[in-house]
Amino acid sequence: MSNIPTENSSGALDADASLVALSQQGDLSAFEALVAKYQKRMLNIAFRFLGDHDDACEVVQDAFVSAYRNLRGFRAEAKFSTWLTAITMNLSRNRLKRMKLHQARVPVSLDAPIRTDDGEMMPDPPSGEPSVLDRMEKRDVQAKVQDCIKALEPDFREVLVLRDLQDYSYEEIGGMLKVAAGTVKSRLFRARESVKDCLKKSMGDLL
């Protein structure tokens, strides 16, 4: 592959082509530039799919390792970002399966500490309905949305994350997941409806 940026199948200029070409020739700094460019985006995708920051970080690290190892086989049939996202989604899917198996085998105590972004805290039984102001807090709303996304089956969760949160086209998503664009649209419709229903149950008249 030359170092001149090429066009992908959709006709759009792939701005990453030069960095990819250099990386394929063993230029580590070029690959590090790709990591810097897409690390945050891949972390967002993995976190939205898995719902756990630590697991998402490990998935993204594995995704970049896998991408680097398989870079020579990348033929630019799709954009590098699309190819990398497909790797991230595949690893996230496998991680989710392992997480579910682990959770099924480990007994859960109602008195066990709850993990949060700030560490661990002991469970505190609710003392009543939260106030309207509390429910309107932005972080609270975001947490509820993430909970509703996490409640989706993986097939529906992944299309919602890729389309609504990452703005990939139906064709790109279909290519990543190896399904028809029509299947993507169908799953996305069901995913959106499920999230709406979940939020209505969680937040009631605030929606």
Residue ending a domain, among 82, 105, 128, is 105
With a cut of 50, which residues of the chain have pLDDT below it?
1-13, 108, 110, 123, 125, 127, 135
Same domain flag for 78 and 129: no
Residue ending a domain, among 105, 135, 170, is 105
Q: Is the dihedral of CA 54, 100, 82, 59 positive or negative?
A: positive
Amino acid 9 reads: S
Which pLDDT value is given to residue 127? Answer: 46
Which pLDDT value is given to residue 1? Answer: 40
Tokens of 77: 């049939």
Q: What is the CATH number of the domain that holds 123?
A: 1.10.10.10
Residue 43 in domain: yes
Q: In what helix (H) or strand (E) does residue 121 lie, and over which residues does it extend?
A: strand 119-121
Same domain flag for 69 and 132: no
Which pLDDT value is given to residue 111? Answer: 53
Alpha helices in the chain (DSSP H): 17-24, 28-50, 53-69, 80-105, 132-136, 138-150, 154-160, 170-177, 181-203
Report yes or no: 65 and 88 within 8 Å, Cβ to Cβ. Answer: no
Same domain flag for 19 and 99: yes
* Three-state DSSP state, 3: coil
List residues bridging with 13 in a β-sheet: 7
Amino acid 179 reads: V
Which of 5, 9, 60, 7 shows the shortest CA–CA distance to 172?
A: 9
Residue 98 in domain: yes
Q: What is the CATH number of the domain that holds 77?
A: 1.10.1740.10
User: Model pTM?
Assistant: 0.71
Same domain flag for 53 and 133: no
71-90 pLDDT, tens digit each: 988 987 789 999 999 999 99
Residue ending a domain, among 74, 105, 136, is 105
Residue 153 in domain: yes
Separation of alpha carbons 19 and 26, rounded Å: 11
Domain hosting residue 86, numbered range: 8-105
